[in-house]
Structure 1
């Protein structure tokens, strides 16, 4: 899942979490009878009104993020998050919300409201933790930029739909605002060059072709003109004529700005970019990276601890490879196992798309039988299995999309089969456990059904979301789905990438590793180099973001082990899963406090 409402390109969480204002303090309602229902309702009303105001302010500040999360109210706005004056106003709003939240008496709140209170406190404190760092001076990278995001919307197949005249007008409005955004981005990058806050040169070299491809000589050849070629037949002749005219005019004004951006990046910015790799090399960079870690992992873990955890996990998984290789017929070094598997025809058995889908349908049926023994809290929404449309297969990967909150659309697991003969079978089980059920579907579909306020319904954090999905993969062993060595290899192979991320990200941003060191470590550790460069450069552009996956999964596993050890025969796996999922997405520190209270209550 992508991350929204960030202050800038490096603040990559949608709704950010951190050490709570009331860390270690039990989030329990006041004793029964001590607080009247009227007083509780008044405090609840104030809290929910503040939460809605906070969410709407974030959505206006980063309206494209709101679009990505399914909130279409601001689809005609681009936002001014990179404009210094608007950025300052937003931080002032966060301080005001923090003050107003503190004025609400949390001892007079219900259990559900207490959780909303503490999550909102987490998010506000982390958002404010970024104020010392000039994230707006890094407005673009190869991973993230407004022009490329809007270009991806032009097909109407992405997060911003293009099926009605109103939607066409909303996207047009964004195109009309983009030249102003581009000029501010250039001004910000110039200031970054002056103050020593630039992107690493290597990732901007990788990014440059993206921006050059957006430049065209005539509007009709621009990707931003694509919607005109797809005007629905149901539109009136007058609407078609007006939209064609207005899109042509908007794109004609946009093209010089896109050309300015591409030229500036190539001729001015790249030559001035830093040759170093990690965020620690920019002014105040170590503190900046520490804030990013606290944000993305929702913990107080240090880079040193995370790095050591990554090395330990890599060694554990490679130890499993050593035992698994002979079961598959491989006798070489553990690091060579992934490449060897990729060369074995028996692990690529498919001839048609339907054969791929048949495996997933069979697995879905098996899980329908096995999961009720592990879960009593299940989403009402169904999970559909569909093939990715041909239009987007070349750029998509297997993924999950959430159901509609009104029940009109199910959750969907999309399998991307560009060539059945190249679709490997070994990773299918672990992939479906992650993207389908009990991974993203059991978590995200349930979020739509919990009656949460918008800031939580449309928000969240990667550490919990991806941590839960990675934890869900591990349940395959208990369900005996990994008794097939090939499927267990697929699970371990995916785990190894996530463990490697812990080593590489902290290596570059806290320990002085170069880009080349990172690429080489990934090649040596993963046994293949297909993703070493792109993954390394991803971590350079988004410091700390890739840490969230494994850190989240390890925390959930740790909490389960703690509960099992403390409760013994009183431990119930379905009850544990209900505790993890039942209150929606939480920062890991709040989740840990919740599980500890649950353990204490069950021990009696």
Structure 2
């Protein structure tokens, strides 16, 4: 997955996730109504698109820098503040009026696509206005304090190579104290209104926040950059930065973090809810439906998604029945994952380095195979790194994009808590998803296509995760699943995405308990109780997010089959991939129209 950030009240996250369906199918304007493109219409759209993206980036600068935009690297924003949130929704409404005043038919085809995506995203953002997501500003999965703490290593989205970089990070640390106090105020309001997280997830989160509180500035994780200055810093710069960090952490940040940990433990935890689903919140059913729409870019209802998940689970279990005997397993198909989890031969590692070495070897092999499947490939490099210790317990393996200015590569972050328990069967498919040709071939490439900034740094979950899940299937095209255990690993990861459709909708619309969902995951995937718990608690605080993977992948696979059937011997897989990736991230409805036009033209 790509790292999911709070984006304040998550209105901006909704923006980046897009909307469920066009209010009107503007892409279907009859040719007789098309007008010649005009420079004036295109210029208006470009100006509006840039202002829109800048409003997003200023509203949530941390997400902007996570996406590769380092212009606001010294800001964290205050998107969780009610007043700023209201201002942002007012901006969106103004942008909608200006957009609809532009004649779409007077735009070039490329600009018409930008128009449609912008209309789509603004409509989605405004659908979130009634729902007070800012009252849930942090969880065990994401929070500004933990995000900035992970940046202290200098390996993430916060560069720490120059004196200016150090000052930018110190500026963010100075702003974190007020952010924490605003988060506490929001959570107090959430308690009054019954808008709180479930107790188990905040119990999981509490140790993170306690760990951030240090006895002195020097003992704080945020002070880490001062302990390893890059070569070339002058003595004067080192003294000035040391004073700057000690002051920011000691007088402002550390006291705020202590207040946060104490508040969560003494006030918030006792007020958390016992129910697991979003349907327990005020207006929760409608709230969840909007989240489903934003994460899948469809109008699918939760019940339909639940049924899709059940059918996919059954299909994959059928594949288990075929692959199990080849691995030496003779029991019921559904029991294959649990059997594999108990086999010591599939847990061969003793050190973290051994895990990374396998990924590096796989990366080298992929670099020889991918050119036969792709014409479009990103120029930005891809690196492999271990997840920082602070967030390993609750993190999933993930990808972060390269910086546009070249200061950091794309990174596949591997989460290795205990090397001896790290399973080898899923490594091939995981790297195809998080590395290449999954997230890296999509997200890094988007930065290189010359698109408007809102498309360059934005996106939606269904396409982003759908592409990465589809990329896993390309292991078969490249002969990477020849070993039964590697094909099982692919199936089991696919099963994870199918089971998510069942448990996410089950938790948030069908009254499934946390224990019920954990048991379903353990039974279906062979996960330990701890592994299942971490997954289920993720879905409890990120409702709908896990749905985009399978829904997006199923659509891309459907479009590939459609093209293969229609074009026969004319079908070329690299050309299909050009069409899917060549204009960046699209809502699924737009992607389908684009592929259908390509099929018609190719005939």
What do the CA deviations read for 1:235-288 (whole angstroms, capped 9, x no partner)? 222222222222222212222222221111111111112211101111110010
Which residue pairs with 1:160 in the alignment? Answer: 158
RMSD: 2.9
Any unmatched runs of 5+ in structure 1? none
Match of 1:124 among 122, 132, 137: 122
Contact map agreement 1:17 1:298 (CA 8 A) in 2: yes
Which residue pairs with 1:281 in the alignment? Answer: 280
Which residue pairs with 1:203 in the alignment? Answer: 201
* 2:73 equivalent to 1:75: yes
Q: Offset at 1:543?
A: 0.6
What do the CA deviations read for 1:556-588 (whole angstroms, capped 9, x no partner)? 111222333344454443332221111111111
Which residue pairs with 2:109 in the alignment? Answer: 111
* 2:579 equivalent to 1:585: no
CA distance in 2, matches of 1:2, 1:157: 14
Q: Offset at 1:132?
A: 0.3
SS in 2 for 1:517: helix
Contact map agreement 2:11 2:129 (CA 8 A) in 1: no
Match of 1:226 among 224, 233, 256: 224
CA distance in 1, matches of 2:192, 2:354: 57
CA distance in 1, matches of 2:80, 2:411: 34
Match of 2:170 among 163, 169, 172: 172
Match of 2:60 among 59, 62, 81: 62
1:517-596 equivalent positions in 2, closer than 5 A:
517-529=516-528, 530-596=530-596
SS in 1 for 2:429: helix
CA distance in 1, matches of 2:441, 2:389: 28
Which residue pairs with 2:84 in the alignment? Answer: 86
Q: Offset at 1:14?
A: 6.2
Q: TM-score under structure 2 normalisation?
A: 0.91
What do the CA deviations read for 1:393-417 (whole angstroms, capped 9, x no partner)? 9678765554554678765656677
SS in 2 for 1:93: helix
CA distance in 1, matches of 2:356, 2:444: 22
Which residue pairs with 2:19 in the alignment? Answer: 18
Contact map agreement 2:35 2:105 (CA 8 A) in 1: no
Change (3 A) 1:261 1:18: same
Which residue pairs with 1:512 in the alignment? Answer: 511
CA distance in 2, matches of 1:27, 1:404: 36
Change (3 A) 1:72 1:363: closer
Q: Offset at 1:353?
A: 8.1
Contact map agreement 1:7 1:127 (CA 8 A) in 2: no
Contact map agreement 1:5 1:14 (CA 8 A) in 2: no
Q: Offset at 1:298?
A: 1.1
Which residue pairs with 2:495 in the alignment? Answer: 496
CA distance in 2, matches of 1:352, 1:122: 47
Q: Offset at 1:457?
A: 1.0
Number of equivalences: 599
* 2:207 equivalent to 1:217: no
What do the CA deviations read for 1:467-520 (whole angstroms, capped 9, x no partner)? 111111112223443232121111001111111111111001111111111111
CA distance in 1, matches of 2:223, 2:364: 44
Which residue pairs with 1:344 in the alignment? Answer: 343
Contact map agreement 1:433 1:439 (CA 8 A) in 2: yes
CA distance in 1, matches of 2:429, 2:381: 17
CA distance in 2, matches of 1:399, 1:467: 14
What do the CA deviations read for 1:178-232 (whole angstroms, capped 9, x no partner)? 2221221111111111111111122111111111222223222222222222233
SS in 2 for 1:74: coil
Q: Offset at 1:363?
A: 4.9
What do the CA deviations read for 1:494-550 (whole angstroms, capped 9, x no partner)? 111111111111001111111111111111111222411111111011111111111
SS in 1 for 2:274: coil
What do the CA deviations read for 1:82-108 (whole angstroms, capped 9, x no partner)? 111111100000000011011111111
1:453-492 equivalent positions in 2, closer than 5 A:
453-492=452-491
* 2:6 equivalent to 1:8: no
Contact map agreement 1:77 1:174 (CA 8 A) in 2: yes
CA distance in 1, matches of 2:403, 2:61: 20
Change (3 A) 1:324 1:115: same
1:44-59 equivalent positions in 2, closer than 5 A:
44-59=42-57
Which residue pairs with 1:144 in the alignment? Answer: 142
Change (3 A) 1:386 1:201: closer
* 2:253 equivalent to 1:254: yes
SS in 2 for 1:277: coil
Contact map agreement 2:347 2:423 (CA 8 A) in 1: yes
Q: Offset at 1:431?
A: 2.6
CA distance in 1, matches of 2:518, 2:388: 32
CA distance in 2, matches of 1:547, 1:348: 29
CA distance in 2, matches of 1:202, 1:388: 27
SS in 1 for 2:27: coil
CA distance in 1, matches of 2:120, 2:592: 14
Q: TM-score under structure 1 normalisation?
A: 0.91
CA distance in 2, matches of 1:359, 1:208: 34
Change (3 A) 1:532 1:11: farther
What do the CA deviations read for 1:15-53 (whole angstroms, capped 9, x no partner)? 131144464343679779952xxx622211111111111
1:307-456 equivalent positions in 2, closer than 5 A:
307-348=306-347, 363=362, 367=366, 370-375=369-374, 377-379=375-377, 381=379, 386=384, 388=386, 400-403=399-402, 405=404, 424-456=423-455
Contact map agreement 1:29 1:107 (CA 8 A) in 2: no
CA distance in 1, matches of 2:359, 2:25: 43
CA distance in 2, matches of 1:474, 1:417: 24
Contact map agreement 1:16 1:122 (CA 8 A) in 2: no
CA distance in 1, matches of 2:226, 2:129: 41
Any unmatched runs of 5+ in structure 2? none
